[in-house]
Amino acid sequence: MRYGSSRGRQAGFGGPGARRQGVLAALALAGCGALLVTGCSPAGGPGSAAGSSPPGKAATGPGSPGPSGSPSASPQASGPPAKGSVTVAGEVAKGLESPWGVAPLPGGDLLVASRDKGTISRVAADTGAVTQIGKVPGVAPGGEGGLLGLALSPSFASDRLVYAYFTTESDNRIARLRYDEQRPAGQQLGAPDTVFRGIPKGLVHNGGRIAFGPDKMLYAGTGETGDKGLAQDRRSLGGKILRMTPDGDPVHGNPEADSVVYSYGHRNVQGLAWDKDKRLWAAEFGQNTWDELNLIEPGANYGWPEAEGKAGRPGMRDPVAVWKTDEASPSGIAWAEGSVWMAGLKGSRLWRIPLAGAELAAEPEAFLEGKYGRLRTVLALGGDRLLLVTSETDGRGSPEAGDDRILTLTVR
């Protein structure tokens, strides 16, 4: 690997974790030299977004109120250090084509979605071998759409269900597929069972990140497809964060009883993560001025398109942190070691956002700037370990030999 190589910024926009002992043991053997990286200059300035809630299916599944995300929560007495560090501990895999969603399997291997090929592959944590396990029927890649987020059922050990968010010819939807390792390679995914459909699609701003929260409910970040009005339209699923049961039904405790909409007024949400106090954080692409990290409050309006960044508009939530769009264009996020870690596409860097409760503990720091190009997904493995997925083969990067890659990081 070219740990010391430097890439220029890439133009254009794009687009959680229990400890996995198998991953950690295998990754410790990954054949790469470690690199300690120091942070770059902090981001600063104002930035924000907005949307609304659609009718949904009547609630039929179990549920519970969402995790608290109150921005008024008081800061902790002590938070993470003001200055952090990132060590590139190894390379898990390379030569991946348009990787997007990643889900860690019990035992340490990974499932990786290819946005453009519509396939899911298994990556062996000890050798980096990539084996296709199947293709998701109905995926229609194009622009920023295709096979996007992946998540494992909270009961994966018994039900073997893999959830996928993907673009079809007519919409974005979420389906679950049974993973049967006893079937031949390439044919190990069962037929998709669609649990939710009708999310607006577009050439851009399809959202796509899905994750099961601490409440074992399924959350999804969506985009407004370039049609700004959808974000504030409470009847639309575009420009929202959705919360549903594993069967795709509205959850008891959602802001509106018959709706899966959890928050609105978003432009394009591709990052979802919970901190140790079960607060939900989301990363969001701005337009021309400010990208955002938001603390999500159920039923809150995050401003788009009436506000971008810290606008201070009555009735709208301001982000906790903002960045100029050429410094971030954020996709995946993860929480580890007292900070949110945010992958930047156009910014080609990993941001550390140290938190004290619901507020910044110190200024955000940038790491790995330009070293691996566009960064799509960051995933917490537990403790101080992260996975980082590059995105140079998504049509907006400048791929080099070995791209795209999955790296392991040790962070502080």
Segments making up each domain of the chain, as ranges: 21-57+79-411
Say how many C-beta atoms besides its own lie within 10 A of residue 65's C-beta: 11
More confident residue, 57 or 365: 365
Is 409 within 8 Å of 377 (Cβ atoms)?
no
Q: Vertex 149, ends 278 and 376: CA angle to 5°?
A: 90
Band (pLDDT 50/70/90 cuts) for residue 39 is low
Give the mean model confidence (pLDDT) for residues 28-33: 37
Q: How far apart are CA 290 and CA 12, in angstroms?
A: 14
Q: Structurally, what CATH architecture does the domain formed by 21-57+79-411 represent?
A: 6 Propeller (2.120)
Question: Residue 110 phi/psi, 5° resolution?
Answer: -125, 145
Give the mean model confidence (pLDDT) for residues 373-381: 98
Question: H helices of 239-366, where?
Answer: none
More confident residue, 32 or 55: 32
**88-116 per-position pLDDT tens digit:** 999 999 999 999 999 999 999 999 999 99
Q: How far apart are CA 156 and CA 154, in angstroms?
A: 6
Give the mean model confidence (pLDDT) for residues 234-256: 97
Say how many C-beta atoms besides its own lie within 10 A of residue 19's C-beta: 12
pLDDT given at position 15: 36
pLDDT given at position 55: 31
Is 203 within 8 Å of 234 (Cβ atoms)?
no
pLDDT given at position 79: 82
DSSP for 133-183?
EEE-TT---BTTBSEEEEEE-TTHHHH-EEEEEEE-SS-EEEEEEEB-TTS
Band (pLDDT 50/70/90 cuts) for residue 67 is low
Q: How far apart are CA 192 and CA 120, in angstroms?
A: 13
Say how many C-beta atoms besides its own lie within 10 A of residue 155's C-beta: 11
Q: How far apart are CA 206 and CA 185, in angstroms?
A: 30
Is 319 within 8 Å of 301 (Cβ atoms)?
no
**154-207 per-position pLDDT tens digit:** 999 999 999 999 999 999 999 999 999 999 999 999 999 999 999 999 999 999
